[in-house]
Amino acid sequence: MEEPIVTTLEKNRDRYLKQMIEFLSIPSISSDSTHKADVRRAAEWLANDLKHGGLSHVQILETAGHPVVYADYLTDENKPTVLCYGHYDVQPVDPVDQWQTDPFKPEIRDNIIYGRGTSDDKGQVFMLAKMAETILDATGTLPVNLKFCFEGEEEIGSAHLDDFVDAHLDLLKADVLLVSDTTMLGMDQPAVSYGLRGICGLEVRLRGPKGDLHSGVYGGAVQNTLHAMVELLASLHDHHGRVTVDGFYDQVKPLTKEERKVCETLSDDDVLKKELDVDALYGEEGYPTVARIWSRPTLELNGVYGGFQGEGLKTVIPSTATAKITCRLVPDQDPALIGALLRKHLKDHLPAGVKLEVELMDHADPFIMPVDHPALQAAHNALEKAFHTKAILSRQGGSVPIVNTFHDKLGLAPILMGFGLDSENFHAPNEHFHLKNFDRGLRALTEFLFELSKQMN
């Protein structure tokens, strides 16, 4: 089937890119209630595009939050069914003054498209839609049964996806889950992920004196909430990058010799230092860099704030201070247990004179999939055809909590075949996506469906 697909991809490329820019221009920021209508507008755009692409049963299905876009194309019940997942919502854009161009006016420069959602994940959602449209355009049918489930709440923890899946178990029934929301290992090195870290997020608030105080009048007499906060937060790690929360590592399996070897081979500290513009890397002592990302849990401060942030100085002792924390978890860590251990640590290490509030927020289990699934072989073959190089079986440092949802509720084996790059600034200003990987990725996705129909027939 190679020739007609390649020809069709080439023929449609300009139109696809114009459509992608239209889709990316909708500011579908799910965390910001002022953008609620925009999120729905993105769902409607996507539904409309799927309809024009030849999909059936296109629907916008309501949840208690932002809606889910569903579509399918059922060709033969004896063929495997692939459920494609992605999310059409995006991260906020602050600090917006650090964007070189408007995050919602996507621009193509040097075959790279810049804008919020280009790589995470609207760009890749769009590729899944065009995967189907391309094959239908070229051949008039699909080699497998296909279903789409695109949600609008991934960036806010997929709050209503569990309920949604529970309510639509029949509709979503499939054999394989295809997710394009992960990254490649490098510009020319595709990967299929078989493991993801989990997550446990919390917000920590300290309250000291009932209002902000003048540091001249009260300084020395009363606990400074920020002193308490930095002392408390500093207690979470030792000086070797290790998390000091009691029991934090108890469920973590030690690295096998083989895993360590793979991680050592894949770690290129000099390249990473250059990419990030830092003099030194840093992390848990005794582990190669890639192992620290794939196989070791972390505890990261994502935001800390309290007191005066304006220009110059203000001699204030702040009444409150806040920290936002997320842990990345590995098998077999339990997010609920980790949350409880953290809460205990914070309570036990609380400095005098302040009150503590801990709010547990997002959480997701870590995940490892069986490596002998035929869909993995199909993905491997498809990537090799598109990239002219062998794909690496990898793990991911990030979390795709929905993988657990679809695995636990529908028994789906997930294929995490993503085309972003770690360096493409997702969740940060100047997010971008290499169109070279748009082209090769779209080629790989179409090929995956043909390979899958061979491997799973």
Among 220, 257, 370, 372, indicate the residue that binds a copy of itself (CB under 8 A): 220
* Binding-site member from 279, 370, 372, 388 for a copy of itself (CB under 8 A): 279
Count of residues engaged in binding a copy of itself, rule: CB under 8 A: 95
How far is residue 421 CA from its own chain's centroid? 12
Region from 8-16, 102-110, 228-236, 441-449 binding a copy of itself, contact rule CB under 8 A:
228-236
Give min distance, CB of 213 to a copy of itself, in A: 7
Site for a copy of itself in 361-390 (CB under 8 A): 361-362
Select from 95, 128, 93 the least CA-distant residue to 114: 93
Stretch that binds a copy of itself, among 65-73, 78-86, 143-151, 271-279 (CB under 8 A): 271-279
Of 54 and 353, CB closest to a copy of itself? 353
- Rounded to a whole number of angstroms, the minimum distance from the CB of residue 3 to a copy of itself is 37
Helix or strand run (H / E) with residue 453: helix 435-455
Neighbours of 41 (CB within 10 A): 15
If one asks whether residue 14 binds a copy of itself (CB under 8 A), the answer comes out as no
Which tokens in the block code for residue 17?
């890119």
Chain residues 315-344 in contact with a copy of itself, contact rule CB under 8 A: 315-318, 321-322, 324, 326, 328
Site for a copy of itself in 231-270 (CB under 8 A): 231, 233-234, 237, 239
Where in 420-449 is the site for a copy of itself (CB under 8 A)? Answer: 422, 425-430
Among the residue ranges 11-19, 34-42, 108-116, 202-210, the one whose residues contact a copy of itself (CB under 8 A): 202-210
Give min distance, CB of 321 to a copy of itself, in A. 7
CB of 26 to a copy of itself, least distance (A): 20
- The residues in 280-309 that bind a copy of itself, with binding defined as CB under 8 A, are 280-284, 289, 292-293, 296, 298, 300-309
Backbone dihedral angles phi then psi of residue 215, each to the nearest 5 degrees? -70, -20
> What is the 8-class DSSP label of residue 130?
H
By CB under 8 A, tell whether 218 contacts a copy of itself: yes
And the tokens for 282?
A: 């840093």
- Residue number with CB closer to a copy of itself (226 or 456): 226
Task: Residue 60: name the closest of 51, 52, 437, 82 by CA.
Answer: 51
Residue 430 C-beta: closest distance to a copy of itself, Å: 7
**What is the nearest approach in angstroms of a copy of itself to the Cβ of residue 434?**
16
Q: How far is the CB of 302 from a copy of itself (least distance, A)?
A: 5
Q: Tell which positions 28-47 bind a copy of itself, by CB under 8 A.
A: 31
Q: What would the two tokens of residue 439 be?
A: 């082209």
First-to-final CA distance of the chain: 17
User: Which of the stretches 62-70, 279-287, 401-409, 448-456 binds a copy of itself when contact is defined by CB under 8 A?
Assistant: 279-287
CA distances from 419 to 208, 213, 435 (A): 47, 51, 10
Output the smallest distance, CB 284 to a copy of itself, in A.
7
Q: Say if residues 186 and 421 touch (Cβ distance below 8 Å).
A: yes
Residue 358 binds to a copy of itself (criterion: CB under 8 A):
no
Residues 6 or more apart whose CB falls under 8 angstroms from that of 410 comprise 83, 165, 169, 172, 173, 174, 177
- Burial-class residue 37 by CB neighbours within 10 Å (0-12, 13-18, 19+): exposed
Instruction: Compute the distance between CA of residue 441 and CA of residue 447 in angstroms, rounded to an integer.
Output: 10
Chain centre to alpha carbon of residue 276? 20
Supply angle C-alpha 39, 42, 44, rounded to 5. Answer: 110
Beta strands in 337-403 (DSSP E): 355-364, 367-368, 392-396
